[in-house]
Amino acid sequence: MLALLCSGFTLLCLTSPSARAQAAVWAPGQLGQTLYQNDPHDDVRQLLRQGKYAQALTLVERGAARNPRDPQMRFWQGFLYEQLGQAKAAKPVYQALIEEFPELPEPYNNLAVLSAAEGDLGTARQLLEQALRANPNYATAHDNLGDVLVQLARQSYLRAAQLDPSRLDAQRKAQSLGSAARPAPTSK
């Protein structure tokens, strides 16, 4: 099953998930009193954990507008578009991240999941291989690449059986891969 990666929960933590930006803020009438502001990344993480995707997207879009070079906010933007059923809006977000931050494997992974969901297994395979070049130890991309390769193998066996119906071994192999070749994108 192909897995989307929601970076706020797992791997793409460009800012420490446990750290809270505690910038001192002075306001008139508050002599000597220090106020602390939450890191907007923490606020987004909390909304993601609660499944409040529309609210999280509002925060993410504000954060991305304030700092358009923040790859974390932009990645979440793509992820949230997907969660809200707007996969077409997510694709250009991931593509832009890949162009600007080719060292990050997660945008490749999530764009590959979208490509696989559309049936474009060749593109999905290429994107997952790029993710693994960026980070050879990226388990999610390895898992997803395995799923894509199983699907491609099944397609090849089915084509061989179609071209030559006497190839019972190809039919048997395609059937054995049948249940494994139907991944549905999920998030982690």
pLDDT digits (tens, 9 = 90+) for 115-143: 999 999 999 999 999 999 999 999 999 99
163-182 average pLDDT score: 83
Q: For residue 12, is pLDDT > 70? A: no
3-state secondary structure of 64: helix
Residue 137 burial class via C-beta count within 10 angstroms: exposed 0-12, middle 13-18, buried 19 and up: exposed
Rounded Cα distance between 15 and 41, Å, is: 8
What is the DSSP track for 156-185? HHHHHHHH-TT-HHHHHHHHHHTTTT----
Residues 16-59 have pLDDT tens digits of: 333 333 333 444 444 544 445 567 889 999 999 999 999 999 99
Distance in angstroms between the alpha carbons of the first and the last residue of the chain: 11
CB 76 within 8 A of CB 7: yes
User: CATH number of the domain at 3-7+40-187, please?
Assistant: 1.25.40.10
